Structure 1
């Protein structure tokens, strides 16, 4: 992925295309991801999206309402992709702690890497507005509960601790971002997150 920002990028789609509402929605999301990739999250405004998509501003407003609405839609798409990657990996994996921990760590990091530098920017933007922070927190809570159910069979009688799970999620986000930025390798990010998960479960067993 090129890190050089285009000074005068050409429109990312052909103008005046007649699309169904669903197809237009898909186009707008695709152009949004491309804009963030090329120019960063701050460049993504509804007006800029309309210009690059070859539509009028009212069309974009009709789909997303506000810029926070657009950012929320992008984050929800990322979350859905991450869930699909994890579920597919779980279907292929054995049901041991080692396998489950590997699936959680690998699928989280892989999904962020697949989306590239766009995700850290979107997550940072989500932290800037209360309504977006709530959306992010709600999806994080769902992810936490998913991991709890996966890890509880291997944990102590009290289950996997909430503090450990939230700490794991914070580490997952930080490690993935470091891998995206090239500070560490993807393998290092996955291995560190895997060790954090194993350690969390082992601590719960020692408390039993």
Structure 2
């Protein structure tokens, strides 16, 4: 009788990615409230100590999911910026489409995770760090097209608020993804064309 081959043991990085993928699926199907380390262990077919070893706490797991979303969003935007035309419309379109697309890929999961992040000072700090890095990335990409090479910080934060609002409206089906992208692109173009008029700094 031929013995069935044993399954290959996952490396630590592979196990981590498996758990993150399973966590996204769990949140997508049952909502953020259902995401506990115990449920994730059950869903992934591993023992609780394995999950605790990777994330420590539920807050650690939520932080890991947000960081994974952030990394995906950055990679998507960086790749598109490398190949887009060197015009304000094109760069604004890349920022708008990559932001909306990344939120839509995660569907209803991201708003719940962001809401959970706001309940912890440590996780709120992670979210804030992401927001600062994102607005700075956008500032650098858009600066060559701004009058006087200045973009008001208030405009960048307004852009981020609009990106969140439009993306989540599209995720909820209240508007289409195309409508969200078009509106956000137009807002970014208008913001850049104002240059530094809305405030000092950012140049």
TM-score > 0.5 by shorter chain:
yes
Runs (4+) of structure 1 exceeding 3 A deviation are none
TM-score normalised over the length of structure 2? 0.90
Partner of 2:201: none
Deviation by residue 1:166-202 (Cα, 9 ceiling, x = unmatched): 1100110111000000001001100111111011112
TM-score normalised over the length of structure 1? 0.88
Partner of 1:102: 93
Q: Provide the rounded CA distance (Å) in 2 between the counterparts of 1:23 and 1:177.
A: 31
Would you say how many aligned residue pairs link Structure 1 and Structure 2?
A: 193
Partner of 1:63: 54
* Compared CA separation, residues 206 and 186, structure 1 to 2 (3 A): same
Partner of 2:171: 180
Q: Provide the rounded CA distance (Å) in 2 between the counterparts of 1:63 and 1:95.
A: 42
* Compared CA separation, residues 50 and 105, structure 1 to 2 (3 A): same
1:74: how far off?
0.6
How much is the aligned-residue C-alpha RMSD, in angstroms?
A: 1.7
Q: Provide the rounded CA distance (Å) in 2 between the counterparts of 1:171 and 1:128.
A: 22
Tell whether 2:154 aligns with 1:163. yes
1:23: how far off?
1.3
* Equivalent residues of 2:19, 2:40 under 8 A apart: yes
1:158: how far off?
5.9
2:189 alignment partner, one of 181, 186, 198: 198
Instruction: In structure 1, list runs of 5 or more residues that go unmatched.
Output: 1-15
Tell whether 2:138 aligns with 1:147. yes
The alignment partner of 2:63 has SS state of helix
The alignment partner of 2:147 has SS state of coil
